[in-house]
Structure 1
């Protein structure tokens, strides 16, 4: 079980860094009017564990902050992910 937690933490850190970088890259591309990263990709990264990186990317780069999907969706994803982790944690204690 200890190895699982270690791998989970490593995955969590990596996916959040990747998501943060994707938000930065998309903001940079929007300023250059270049090809953009799709909203599906950005939300997908948040759904698979990068929601904190996505929220930080939104706040740091002021990117997608006026889009309701991101402004409301990412915080809701974070709440659901915290709930899932707590559920799995307490189920594992029994």
Structure 2
């Protein structure tokens, strides 16, 4: 009779482990899904901000050529520091707009260093 009792104890341990591993797998799947949603949100946010920055540079260049009301400089700085530094840089180079202003070059450089070096370092090691 003791063999049957031990056998049942082993069975209950393995069945417990089986259920436990299923719950762990479920949590891992949920964590993977959260990471996937986070990365896609980050990609879409970055794309939207960069496209907006690029189009605003284009709009400002057209308004400057037509001698109309211009987009304020702080808008470009704001877009640059919230993640649109690639769009600002590409717009500046493509439309040859604001390329002589050292403030814009510095803002693009500082925000690029921040987003490409400092933020990843912070999220990976802190």
1:86 Cα deviation from its structure 2 partner = 1.8
Unaligned stretches of 5+ residues in structure 1: none
Structure scoring higher RCO (CA < 8 A, sep ≥ 6) equals: 1
Write out the 4+ residue segments of structure 1 that deviate beyond 2 Å after TM superposition: none
Question: In angstroms, what is the RMSD of aligned CA positions?
Answer: 1.3
Q: Rg larger in 1 or in 2?
A: 2
Residues 32-83 of structure 1: per-residue CA shift (max 9 Å, x gap) = 0100000001110111110000000000000100011012221221111112
> 1:55–1:75: 8 Å Cα contact kept in structure 2?
no
> 1:59–1:65: 8 Å Cα contact kept in structure 2?
yes
> 1:19–1:50: 8 Å Cα contact kept in structure 2?
yes
Map 1:65-80 onto structure 2 (within 5 A). 65-80=99-114
> 1:30–1:36: 8 Å Cα contact kept in structure 2?
yes
Residue-pair matches, total = 92
The answer on 1:35 being equivalent to 2:90 is: no
Report the Cα distance in structure 2 between the residues aligned to 1:3 and 1:88, rounded to whole angstroms.
20
The answer on 1:17 being equivalent to 2:51 is: yes
Unaligned stretches of 5+ residues in structure 2: 1-34
Map 1:34-53 onto structure 2 (within 5 A). 34-53=68-87
1:84 Cα deviation from its structure 2 partner = 3.1
Q: Under a length normalisation based on structure 1, what TM-score does the superposition of the two structures give?
A: 0.90
